[in-house]
């Protein structure tokens, strides 16, 4: 935490952006939500390294679940439901990240009481049965959860968190020649973080990342023909399930009230997308 603070105080934003090739430009005016460009820090760690690490960790997770007979078989009704919803959402992911076109998307269901779901870099999606059973999610609500998690992968939030860690370590080594030497970050630092230094299943995102994922996920779901107003009922259910202690999926997220307010304020931007999709 102290190192991170040191980075932001010592290295001017302009110098950092210049050293890394500048901020990723935001998309031109478009229909839907506006969340700006991807973070400059996502450029520090190579995307292919992050995605390979995600594939390895995802496979390990599936193997462990299978050994405990907790991995849903292909004919499981809830798994088939999840995969059907994903097939509607994924085609709209490409506009947010060109790399998504080459991702080997996977969707799996794990038997667990956890109220949790995630999408790792490279399109590796998993839901825990607890989030479906305990919250009794409708298809629209499932789409909001799935869209949110896919948005994390598309916006490369995990890669961003790794990049910030790599940049912090690199700057700590480089000492006083911060901006001038930024290109000299030791490749072994970024390689180590991407290949296994970060446990992607437990990586925590910032509240800003979570809010961004809400909006992008809502748009993805709307374009796929799922009612974005389900975001409101989803977070109402989440709030009711917390009972004083937020479930794992909510542990680092903004409060339910604040995110419901943000969803409602952005509904006018995505409702036309939903209505058009339903009319097709």
Catalytic residue list: 149
Buried b (16+ CB within 10 A) or exposed e, 108-139: bbbbbebbbbbbbbbbbbbbbbbbbeebebeb
**DSSP tally for the chain: helices H, then strands E:** 11, 3
d(CA 256, CA 233): 11
Residue 238 structure tokens: 């989440």
Q: Are strands 124-128 and 106-110 parallel, antiparallel or unpaired?
A: parallel
d(CA 198, CA 34): 29
CB atoms closer than 10 angstroms to residue 261: 13
Sign of the C-alpha dihedral computed for residues 131, 132, 136 and 142 taken in this order: positive
CB atoms closer than 10 angstroms to residue 28: 5
Tokens 């036309």, residue located: 272
Phi, psi of 141 (to 5 degrees): -70, -40
Phi, psi of 104 (to 5 degrees): -90, 85
Can you give the C-alpha Rg of the chain in angstroms? 19
């Amino acid at each position: 935490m102290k190192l991170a603070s040191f980075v932001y105080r010592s290295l001017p934003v302009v110098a950092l952006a210049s050293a890394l090739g500048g901020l990723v430009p935001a998309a031109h005016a478009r229909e839907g939500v506006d969340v700006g460009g991807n973070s400059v820090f996502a450029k520090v760690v190579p995307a292919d390294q992050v995605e390979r690490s995600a594939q390895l960790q995802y496979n390990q997770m599936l193997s462990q679940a299978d050994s405990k007979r907790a991995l849903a078989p292909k004919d499981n009704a809830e798994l088939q439901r999840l995969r059907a919803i994903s097939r509607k959402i994924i085609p709209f992911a490409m506009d947010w990240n060109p790399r998504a076109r080459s991702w080997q998307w996977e969707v799996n269901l794990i038997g667990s009481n956890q109220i949790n779901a995630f999408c790792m870099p490279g399109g590796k999606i998993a839901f825990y049965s607890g989030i479906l059973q305990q919250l009794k999610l409708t298809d629209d609500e499932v789409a909001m959860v799935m869209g949110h998690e896919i948005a994390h992968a598309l916006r490369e939030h995990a890669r961003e968190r790794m990049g910030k860690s790599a940049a912090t370590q690199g700057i700590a080594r480089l000492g006083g020649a911060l901006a001038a030497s930024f290109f000299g970050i030791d490749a072994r630092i970024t390689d180590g973080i991407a290949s296994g230094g970060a446990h992607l299943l437990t990586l925590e995102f910032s509240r800003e990342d979570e809010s961004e994922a809400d909006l992008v996920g809502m748009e993805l779901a709307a374009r796929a023909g799922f009612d974005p107003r389900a975001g409101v009922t989803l977070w109402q259910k989440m709030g009711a399930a917390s009972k004083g202690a937020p479930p794992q999926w909510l542990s680092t997220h903004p409060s339910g009230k604040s995110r419901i307010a943000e969803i409602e304020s952005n509904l006018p931007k995505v409702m036309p997308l939903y209505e058009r999709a339903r009319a097709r």
